[in-house]
Structure 1
Amino acid sequence: MTKVGYSDAVNDALERLDDLGYERGIQGDLANHGPMGAEALAALGHGDKVASWVEVYRTAMPHHDPPSPRFALDAADESSWRSALGSFDRAGDWEQLMARELAEAPWQTVLARWWPRLLPGMLAGFTHGTIRTAHAVRSLAAVPEPSPLQLTELARALGYWAARFTRLPGKPRLGGQQGVTSAVAALPRLRGEVPVTPPVAAKRLQTLDTMPGYLEGLEELAPGDAQWLLSEMTSEFAGVYVAHDEIFAVPMVHTVTLPAAVRLVLPYLPAEQHTASVEAVWQVHLAFLLAFTRDRRGEADMIRAATDADLPSFDELSARSVEHGDEHVIKFTEACLRENLLRPDRRFAAAAFAALQRIESSREAHAQTTLSTMATSRSATASTGSARPV
């Protein structure tokens, strides 16, 4: 098989995914993971498998059409664009605005201009606005001259972040006395049903400012070097992920992939934006903990447990993630591998291994989608008396 390099694999994937909208699924609230998963797969060194992965991904779940622009947004008029933050019906307008910005200035300049404006809405698309932006930035930084496809992908990533902009209550500030581990341990957890269902989690996210410990927690974290704090967050929340096998397998993945994604972007941002970036990540982490967990479980024992565990090597975990095929598993494994290389911690391997076991594979998901489609078709045929193709 011909070896496909990183940039060639990414550009081929972006071309294959170009006709897909920002979201997928019948409810329309699941982010398009295609560009992120393909880029992560290429970053793992499996560029030769990206094209086939993309084709499987496209058929796993129906995607919405790309959004069409409605009314042009004016980047020079703050009242124009600020009023459109969080308006998903303006997604096409946001993409068009970002494309114009990128046509007029280097991508680094556009990124540094819009990153601080979008930071307060980091929860956008369940953090996928930020994460998709980071994957786009890594692909751009890897080449001396970006392709039109890569620039379009950054425009879409930033546009999606702006269109799904979601502000959390309170303002985070690195002014406390605690490190990440002690701040996590000090956060009260709410009793409730197990597992926490997505509707329950959504309600909790809407009432965070009434939950004990949340507003106080926003100011508990001690100041420090941004890179160090991101490492503290990724390793701590890798352990949190392993500890909570009672909750849905996917949501807490983002407590590792989000800070790992922000780390990818920091080198291309002015130094004065670094602290605010870490503060925004911390706020999202508090929100996830209160929305999805009800107690600490085995969080405090994760370092020892991961150290004592017989875990596969990262080479094997990487290969298994490719075979597994799920976009969350691929992205999570790549993030854990990258973070472990920067600051080795057995919790990263434990978390990647846990995700492989807990999240259904792309083949299983595809089979389930096919069965659901067939069931829907049979139901429609029974109710209307007409045949529909499956």
Structure 2
Amino acid sequence: METNPVQPPAAPGAGAAGDRTGTLDEALDRLHVRGPEFVGWLSNHGPMAVEALVRHGRADTVHRWLDRYSERLEEMPEVHTPITPENWFAALGDPRRIADWAVHFERETAERPWRAVLAEWWPRLLPGIAGGATHPVIRVGHAVRTLLTGEETAPRVRELAHALGYWAARHQPLPPVRALAPVRSAAGALAAVPAVPDQSAGIGHRLGQLIAFPAWPGGAGTRDIGPDEAHALLRELVTASVHRYATHGHGEPVMLVHAATAPNAVLRTLPALPRELWAASLSAAWAASAAVTAAYTPAEGRPYAPEAAVPTPEEVFERAAAHGDDHTIKFTDTALDVGDARALAAAVRSIELNAPFLQG
């Protein structure tokens, strides 16, 4: 098994690794008694948003934000039947087993190193990356980033367990698609993704209409890709997805953030994975980003000019934190990973497009 030389980039602000307040662990403890969904299927973004707030130096806002956000959350569902080596495959993709899966991964990560658990289950879960509108893999990415850059506390390991459990319960493979003409760049490939014909219903209905994606180097079966190239291509995909939001985010401002945050979650996870899994991870990330793009992309882009005085990354995140919307916070966190002027403009655009979360 190859060693992994890639380390996640440092983020502006105090960061989870430098959090001396204990705020992140306190917030995760509060959230782990809640389920990963509410009102039937809406995703609980609390763990992801509080991780981003702490990482970017806004631990002081976390508990107040969480007080208000928790008003919408529901208790963790009841457990039913334990997940075992004999029945796990049958339980994959069954949302009624959310609590069973959470308990399973809590036990797994208590008995073995979390990296070993992740390496075993990542290839099992990867084909279902679109499940839960990609929220489970995004939650895994936040959890892994925290463990890679900070102390491996019990709440942080438990967060990974709950994130993996959510992914297993919402595991949903995409329909088979045919390959269109090859496209050289990730930006060009996203621009060439055909929109689904009926964009009048929820994501499940939209994903069911997928028929074809452009053949981009990250696509399945295009050619052999080594781990280092897979890493570079995944960074290219995240950058292109963030940039595209500035001109196309108006198509569906909430859902289109996932075209960037889902592949970025995979990118954040790569350093914790065996290198032989990186190429398959790239392929799945491309499928997720292309699927969300197809499901929600508008018919035409709209030119978006950055502000004359380009704000700093810290200023942009301050705006996102004050705005308070969970998707906006997460997208801005991903945009700051890209870090260039177009990415910052895309983050500002998300702040403009999405409704603020009023904390009272």
TM-score (norm 2): 0.85
Determine the C-alpha separation between the residues in 1 that align with 2:334 and 2:113. 27
More helix by proportion, 1 or 2?
Answer: 1
Contact 1:190 1:294 in 2 (8 A): no
1:191 and 1:154, CA in 2 relative to 1: closer, same or farther beyond 3 A? closer
Letter in 1 for 2:102: E
Contact 2:263 2:289 in 1 (8 A): no
Q: Deviations over 1:44-72 (max 9, x none)?
A: 1112222222112112x2x2220222111
Residue 29 of structure 1: aligned partner: 41
Determine the C-alpha separation between the residues in 1 that align with 2:243 and 2:274. 31
- Tell me the CA shift for residue 215 of structure 1: 7.7
Q: Deviations over 1:325-368 (max 9, x none)?
A: 1111111111111222xxxx3221111000111111111xx68x
Q: Which structure 2 residues correspond to residues 103-142 of structure 1 after superposition, within 5 A?
A: 103-142=110-149
Residue 278 of structure 2: aligned partner: 274
Letter in 2 for 1:206: G
For residue 354 of structure 2, the aligned residue among 337, 341, 359 is: 359
- Tell me the CA shift for residue 87 of structure 1: 0.3
For residue 101 of structure 2, the aligned residue among 94, 105, 109 is: 94
Structure 2 residue 76 is the aligned partner of structure 1 residue 66: yes
Residue 4 of structure 2: aligned partner: none
Residue 153 of structure 1: aligned partner: 159
1:124 and 1:6, CA in 2 relative to 1: closer, same or farther beyond 3 A? farther
1:176 and 1:272, CA in 2 relative to 1: closer, same or farther beyond 3 A? farther
Larger Rg: 1
- Tell me the CA shift for residue 130 of structure 1: 0.6
Residue 246 of structure 2: aligned partner: 242
Structure 2 residue 58 is the aligned partner of structure 1 residue 46: yes
Contact 1:183 1:220 in 2 (8 A): no
Determine the C-alpha separation between the residues in 2 that align with 1:247 and 1:202. 17
- Tell me the CA shift for residue 187 of structure 1: 3.0
- Tell me, what secondary structure is at the counterpart of 1:52? helix
Determine the C-alpha separation between the residues in 2 that align with 1:263 and 1:47. 24
Q: Deviations over 1:140-183 (max 9, x none)?
A: 22344x2222222111100000000011022799x956221232
Residue 25 of structure 2: aligned partner: 11
Q: CA RMSD in A?
A: 2.6
Residue 316 of structure 1: aligned partner: 315
Contact 2:325 2:356 in 1 (8 A): yes
Contact 1:136 1:157 in 2 (8 A): yes
1:52 and 1:358, CA in 2 relative to 1: closer, same or farther beyond 3 A? same
Q: Deviations over 1:245-266 (max 9, x none)?
A: 5422110101111122112111
Residue 34 of structure 2: aligned partner: 20
Q: Which structure 2 residues correspond to residues 258-297 of structure 1 after superposition, within 5 A?
A: 258-297=262-301
Determine the C-alpha separation between the residues in 2 that align with 1:172 and 1:231. 24
Contact 1:172 1:219 in 2 (8 A): no
- Tell me, what secondary structure is at the counterpart of 1:208? coil
Structure 2 residue 334 is the aligned partner of structure 1 residue 335: yes
Q: Which structure 2 residues correspond to residues 167-186 of structure 1 after superposition, within 5 A?
A: 167-170=173-176, 178-186=184-192
Contact 2:93 2:168 in 1 (8 A): yes
Letter in 2 for 1:65: E
Letter in 1 for 2:238: T
Determine the C-alpha separation between the residues in 2 that align with 1:58 and 1:260. 26
Contact 1:177 1:220 in 2 (8 A): no
Query: Relative contact order (C-alpha < 8 Å, sep 6+): which is higher?
Result: 2
Residue 350 of structure 1: aligned partner: 345
Determine the C-alpha separation between the residues in 2 that align with 1:191 and 1:85. 29
- Per mean C-alpha deviation after superposition, the further-off stretch among 81-90 and 44-53 is 44-53
